[in-house]
Amino acid sequence: MSGTLAEPAAAPPRTRWELFVGFLSIGARSFGGVLPPAYDIMVEKRRWLTPADFTETIALCQLLPGPNIGNASIVLGKRWFGLGGAIVAFLGLFALPYVWVLALALLYTHWAAHPLVSAVVTGVGASGAGLFMATAVKLGQPIARKPVAVALMAGCVLAVAIGRVSPLIVMPAAVIVGMFFSWRRML
Amino acid sequence: MSIQLGLYFASLSLLTFGGLSPLIPEVQRYIVDTKGWLTPMDFMQLFAVAQAAPGPNVLIASLIGYRVAGFTGSLIALAALCLPAAALTWVVSGLWERLRNSPWRPLIQRALLPPLVGLIFAGGYVIATPHVGGLTLQAIEHQAFETVAQVAEIVQGRAPKGAVNPQHATRLAKMSSRSEA
């Protein structure tokens, strides 16, 4: 695995229009979750961010109120183009899902009982779960060979998925533990 | 109504850690029980649509806004829910950028990765295990019996309690004549 190699270079979007279109396509592909397309587009396709930048931004946004990727659009828009960038990125992210959710609500009231509709809803949920796992695997590559990091990660999975402890408790606690090991050079 | 709705969602904004899902019972209490703007069935249906739709789950606010006060309502509800949190993010990200050259930064970066990867795995697991976020057993029971009561009223040709636009329910009379025939 390439986890220890130098990270590929990343360059921020050159124009607000590019920023807007990027977030528009994240919104367009956000069936089943916004995080997987956000990673795919910002890190892999458009290379605006390195994986480490992405992790840091998302982690910061997770600790703040508000939708995670919505917050990320504010943070990144601000970093690259100031207030105008934050507004453009935020509007780009919400534009298409907003239209779709209203359209879906109008359709759903008429077709809710149709088996095809519930099948589609279940299918979207299932694919969303898969996409989340795939994103976690990609992001986790740099820590795959560090036993302490893997143990810390596994602890978080168990606490949140099985124990259903709020991420608001798990995340700060795990970061403090992580800081200790990172200071001891074990991460 | 749009203004009341806007003020309500704005007051929730700074509490939406991890999106709106953990606050759904509170939203239901206000919209359905306190204000009576939506029936419990309507609310459940909007919740289901928001789960299935793409995008951040805070979009359920725009659905509620739309049902309560039309397009204006949907925009106001969504903006009210997002803006205070966005303003806070704006301020905090400014502070965070200032830490860029601090010796703590690489330490924090290394510490963040394992928990974040864990949370994303857990997110996938939570999506994969069907659950109705935040609905308590009592709420489900209440809604189930309410549905039974509503169906009973419809079959008897009456508009159920809390129905929207009952004066336009022109086909209800046929229901009762059919069931008596």
What Å distances lie between residue A182 and A4, A176, B148, CA to CA? 16, 10, 58
DSSP for chain B reads -HHHHHHHHHHHHTT-BTSSGGGHHHHHIIIIIIS-SS-HHHHHHHHHHHHHSSS-GGGHHHHHHHHHHHHHHHHHHHHHHHHHHHHHHHHHHHHHHHTTT-THHHHHHHHHHHHHHHHHHHHHHHHHS---TT--HHHHHHHHHHHHHHHHHHHTT-PPTT-SSGGG-TTHHHHHHHHH-
Q: Which of residues 108-147 of A touch B (CB under 8 A)?
A: 108-109, 112, 120-121, 124-126, 128-133, 135-136, 139-140, 142-143
Of B16, B60, B128, the CB nearest to A129: B128
For the cut 90, the answer to whether the pLDDT of residue B135 exceeds it is: no
Cβ separation of A35 and B120 shorter than 8 Å? Answer: yes
Q: Which of residues 13-42 of A touch B (CB under 8 A)?
A: 27-35
Cβ separation of B111 and A32 shorter than 8 Å? Answer: no
Structure tokens at A17: 């229009």
pLDDT at B134: 45
Helix (H, G, I), strand (E, B) or coil at A31: coil
Strand partners, A65: B17
**Predicted structure pTM score:** 0.74
pLDDT at A3: 44
Given a contact cutoff of 8 angstroms between Cβ atoms, the answer to whether A89 and A23 are in contact is: yes
More confident residue, B58 or A109: B58
pLDDT at A6: 52
What Å distances lie between residue A100 and A91, A94, A105, A126, B133, CA to CA? 14, 10, 8, 19, 22
Structure tokens at A120: 């589609």
pLDDT band at B132 (very low <50, low <70, confident <90, very high): very low
Of A69, A104, A167, the CB nearest to B119: A167
The pLDDT tens digits along chain A (187 residues) read: 444 445 567 899 999 999 999 999 999 998 878 999 999 999 999 999 999 889 889 988 888 888 889 999 999 999 999 999 999 999 999 999 999 888 888 887 677 667 777 677 667 767 777 888 888 888 888 888 899 999 999 999 898 888 877 777 888 899 899 999 988 888 7
CA distance A11 to chain B (A): 17
Q: Identify the weakest region by mean pLDDT among A125-139, B81-95, B164-178.
A: B164-178
Chain B residues touching A66 at Cβ < 8 A: 13, 16, 58, 82, 85-86, 88-89
pLDDT at A164: 76
Say what angle helices B40-52 and A68-111 make with each other, to 10 degrees: 120
Q: What is the mean pLDDT of residues B84-112?
A: 87
Cβ separation of A102 and B45 shorter than 8 Å? Answer: no
pLDDT digit string (tens) for B5-29? 999 999 989 888 767 777 777 888 8
